[in-house]
């Protein structure tokens, strides 16, 4: 893995396309990706910024959630991760990495498209962690569809429930448990600002996440709780080869960024750490773009 602390040209720090075609069934597994994503397994070093903190991360088995879980643990937090039962293999790797960092890791499998489960998930996280002061709502669904005619009601409903309804259910259940100083972090996308034609439902939910988080931030600061959202651009995660992009686009994924490559999940982790930590004490209601040069407006 590259040494992230040595001065280097960021354009060449990680692999660039072309990548091999690699179709997977959704939601996909990080272990089956070529090249392997860097979630910080070997490259993230912590500095105690989250010592004693208690975090729940949805979609914590792979991609962005996995990188955030590793970073939080190495910064001193106990971490519970949620994932689908089919992602158990990736999730167990993450739990092992959390425990290797010297903190507690808890695996809480289940489907966040179910309202009842979302409420149970918050209760379970509070019980296992002994409280909750960081909530990262990150689990997402993205399936490419070439035409509006091919976005079925079932498709639309599942994307809405995964990306937006779950956000509401989880936040609503968590707020009574969050103390002053706590942080809520959501994951939006550049798609909220530059929607792609083939991602109608996904882009719609990501715009909704931005609006919801900004409104939530105004409410929660009255309790001393901050809420922010991160808007990534093209990042190399299982979301892409498992139906989030066509295989043609997987081959050239990230090529159109200013860097000529996709971002690696570990390159997002420091932003989540900042927003979770006391170093981000004057940041709320913000959208942090990490887009490879595209910006968010």
Segment (H or E) for 205? helix 200-220
Secondary structure (DSSP) of 163-177: IIIHHHHHHHHHGGG
> What is the phi/psi pair of residue 241, to 5°?
-75, -15
Segment (H or E) for 65? helix 63-74
Q: What percent of the chain has pLDDT over 70?
A: 99
- Residue range 60-104, pLDDT digits in tens: 999 999 999 999 999 999 999 999 999 999 999 999 999 999 999
Q: Which of 44, 165, 202, 272 is catalytic?
A: 202
Catalytic residue list contains 202: yes
Residue 257 confidence (pLDDT) above 60: yes
Residue written as tokens 């990534």?
A: 232
- Residue range 212-244, pLDDT digits in tens: 999 999 999 999 999 999 999 999 998 899 888
Cβ contact 65:81 at 8 Å: yes
In this predicted structure, what is the pLDDT of residue 1?
Answer: 47
**Per-domain residue ranges of the chain:** 48-290
What whole-number distance in Å separates Cα of residue 249 and Cα of residue 242? 12
CATH of segment(s) 48-290:
3.40.50.720
158-183 as b/e: b if 16+ CB within 10 A: ebbbbbbbbbebbbebbbebbeeebb
In this predicted structure, what is the pLDDT of residue 243?
Answer: 86
CA neighbor of 37 nearest in space, from 19, 50, 52: 19
In this predicted structure, what is the pLDDT of residue 10?
Answer: 96
- Residue range 107-163, pLDDT digits in tens: 999 999 999 999 999 999 999 999 999 999 999 999 999 999 999 999 999 999 999
Task: Give Cβ neighbours of residue 148 (< 8 Å, ≥ 6 apart).
Answer: 200
């Amino acid at each position: 893995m590259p040494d992230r602390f040595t001065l280097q040209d960021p354009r060449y720090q990680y692999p660039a396309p072309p990548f091999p075609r690699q179709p997977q069934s959704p939601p996909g597994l990080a272990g089956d990706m070529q090249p392997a994503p860097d979630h910080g397994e070997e490259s993230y070093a912590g500095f105690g910024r989250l010592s004693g903190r208690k975090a729940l991360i949805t979609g914590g088995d792979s991609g962005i959630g996995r990188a955030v879980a590793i970073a939080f643990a190495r910064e001193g937090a106990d971490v519970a991760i949620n994932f689908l039962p089919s992602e158990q293999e990736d999730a167990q790797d993450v739990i092992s990495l959390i425990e290797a960092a010297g903190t507690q890791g808890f695996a809480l499998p289940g489907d966040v498209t179910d309202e009842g489960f979302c409420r149970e998930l918050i209760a379970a996280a509070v019980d296992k962690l002994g409280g909750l002061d960081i909530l990262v709502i990150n689990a997402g669904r993205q399936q490419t569809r070439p035409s509006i005619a091919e976005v079925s009601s079932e498709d639309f409903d599942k994307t809405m429930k995964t990306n937006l309804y779950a956000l509401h259910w989880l936040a609503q259940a968590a707020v009574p448990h969050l103390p002053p100083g706590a942080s809520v972090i959501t994951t939006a996308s550049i798609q909220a600002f530059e929607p792609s034609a083939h991602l109608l439902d996904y882009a719609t939910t990501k715009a909704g996440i931005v609006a919801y988080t900004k409104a939530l931030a105004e409410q929660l600061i009255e309790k001393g709780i901050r809420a922010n959202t991160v808007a990534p651009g093209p990042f190399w995660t299982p979301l892409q080869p498992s139906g989030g992009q066509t295989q043609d686009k997987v081959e050239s994924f990230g090529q159109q960024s200013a860097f000529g490559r996709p971002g690696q999940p570990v390159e997002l982790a420091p932003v989540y750490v900042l927003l979770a930590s006391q170093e981000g004490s004057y940041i709320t209601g913000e959208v942090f773009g990490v887009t490879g040069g595209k910006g968010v407006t």
